[in-house]
Structure 1
Amino acid sequence: MTGVECLIEDVRWQETGLERLAARAAEATLAHLGLDPAAWEIVVLGCDDARIAALNEDFRDKAAPTNVLSWPSEERGADADGAVPDLPEAGLDPELGDIAIAFETCAKEARAAGKPMQDHVTHLIVHGILHLLGYDHVRDKDATLMERTEVEILGKLGLPDPY
């Protein structure tokens, strides 16, 4: 079992099953990358748009809500565009980092895409965990690698390609 701790600030997340979705996404993501899910810790904050907008402004200078934010415990990104990030080694610090996910934005995006909320949330948690592990989508080849990795993980979970 993966060490995922969910902090629920918005009760609507309880109805969505955020704890179960986050644990499932974390287990699939870590296992896909060859990491033992039981060896790592992740905190997921289930919040609303107002809270994530404040976090987005505080940490990214963007005064608007977003779907998901992540704070890795350390920088793991690859130097070369498109290279696989350096994954953490077991036995050292087990904390990978923190993720925040906003209910209203996620619900609006799921409705607009015509997909179940649980599928969209699972995708966003996978996305956030990949950020914790050094994956990014700023550079083109990094974005291609990250999207391909997300699609592979979601496919193993029986979810369609979100792109």
Structure 2
Amino acid sequence: MTAPARTLRTSDSIEIEIIAQSARWTAYPGADAVVRGAIEAAALLVGRPGSVAVMLTDDATIRDMNATWRGIDRPTNVLSFPSRESFALPGAIHLGDIAIACETVEAESAAENKAFADHLAHLAVHGYLHLVGLDHETDAEAVGMENLETRILSGLGIADPYADPTSAD
């Protein structure tokens, strides 16, 4: 068995480690660049520097994580685990970890007629925003988080993920 793919990149505001834990991600060789670009864009706009670890995984693994940490025994698209401790890495504070499930991203992007990379970028941004304390438990929180996600993604040239596709001209 080969070691999982790892990429580490440091920008002025964010350090990102990406681990492809599942072989399914080999079908998407640019996935790490999409995730990195999305999180860097979010960090620049939000202004919260630090480090983030991202695990690109599969539905089986994320289902286990979802059951263990949230008590929900089904796969999901993205999970965020904000750091409970602010332990320092060289020049950065670890903000937390993000897991993204390949099969769910594939299914959702197909069902919503979205490009896989665009949906992946949205999930990376969504996960990062959870790490920095944003949530969508109330309607007001959801609107605020969705507006920020849309603004970040727009800066990457990605359409509003919350727009109703049936309302297009």
One fold, TM greater than 0.5? yes
What per-residue deviation string (whole Å, max 9, x for no partner) do you get for residues 109-150 of structure 1? 000011110000000000000000111011111111000000
Show the counterpart of 1:99. Answer: 98
CA distance in 2, matches of 1:127, 1:105: 15
RMSD, matched Cα: 1.6
What per-residue deviation string (whole Å, max 9, x for no partner) do you get for residues 89-114 of structure 1? xx986101000000101100000011
Q: Is the 8 A contact 1:4 1:44 kept in 2?
A: yes
Aligned runs of 1:50-89 on 2, under 5 Å? Answer: 50-74=60-84
Query: Any stretches of 5+ residues in structure 1 without a counterpart?
Result: 76-90
CA distance in 2, matches of 1:34, 1:97: 16
Partner amino acid, structure 1, of 2:23: V
What per-residue deviation string (whole Å, max 9, x for no partner) do you get for residues 27-57 of structure 1? 100101134xxx4210001110000000000
Partner amino acid, structure 2, of 1:32: L
Show the counterpart of 1:88. Answer: none
TM-score normalised according to structure 1 size? 0.84
Distance apart, 1:13 and its partner CA: 1.9
Show the counterpart of 1:13. Answer: 25
Query: Any stretches of 5+ residues in structure 2 without a counterpart?
Result: 1-10, 163-169
Distance apart, 1:12 and its partner CA: 2.6
Q: 2:41 aligns with which of 18, 28, 33?
A: 28
Q: Is the 8 A contact 1:12 1:103 kept in 2?
A: yes
Partner amino acid, structure 2, of 1:113: E
Deviates most, 13-22 or 153-162: 13-22
Larger radius of gyration: 2
CA distance in 1, matches of 2:38, 2:68: 27
Q: Is the 8 A contact 1:4 1:22 kept in 2?
A: no
Partner amino acid, structure 2, of 1:12: R
Q: State the identity %.
A: 42
Partner amino acid, structure 2, of 1:20: A
TM-score normalised according to structure 2 size? 0.81
CA distance in 2, matches of 1:5, 1:14: 17
